[in-house]
């Protein structure tokens, strides 16, 4: 693939990650949306790029301490061939948690 095409492919992948993050942030709404898109705009981008680079086709990801599952929800949109498992202490994810409730996390991850 020529260098220009490679560069454009990488740019498109970044745009796809941004779209996935926006979808997940919109699904969670409110303060979670602000945290994902405004307070930590590059954090999830970097993490998703790393996951995509390391996961083989049909691979599996275990996210320990992944909160409401932002990365796994995005990964499901970007790489439907990958199976994800989230492990966290969901007791803290209630109406008072800025990232959302445990119920929202389950709904988000079930798609």
Model confidence at 52: pLDDT above 90: yes
pLDDT tens track for 79-110:
999 999 999 988 899 999 999 999 999 998 88
Q: What whole-number percentage of the chain has pLDDT above 90?
A: 82
Model confidence at 2: pLDDT above 90: no
CA 43 from chain centre, in angstroms, equals: 10
4 — pLDDT class (breaks 50, 70, 90): confident
Query: 60 by DSSP, 3-state: which?
Result: strand
* Mean pLDDT value of segment 27-40: 92
Q: Can you give the pLDDT at residue 1? A: 52
Tokens of 77: 């949109």
**Average pLDDT of the chain?**
92
Interacting residues of 2 by C-beta distance below 8 A, sequence separation 6+? none
Tokens of 43: 């954090």
Helix axes 3-28, 70-78, angle to 10 degrees: 130
């Amino acid at each position: 693939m020529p260098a220009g095409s490679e560069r454009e492919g990488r740019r498109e992948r970044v745009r796809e990650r941004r779209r996935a993050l926006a979808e997940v942030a919109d699904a969670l709404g409110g303060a979670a949306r602000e945290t994902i898109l405004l307070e930590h705009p590059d954090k999830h981008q970097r993490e998703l790029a790393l996951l995509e680079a390391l996961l083989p086709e049909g691979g599996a990801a275990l996210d320990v301490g992944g909160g409401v599952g932002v990365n796994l929800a995005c990964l499901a949109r970007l790489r439907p061939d990958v199976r994800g498992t989230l492990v966290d202490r969901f007791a803290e994810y209630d109406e008072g948690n800025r990232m959302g409730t445990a119920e929202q996390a389950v709904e988000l991850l079930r798609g």
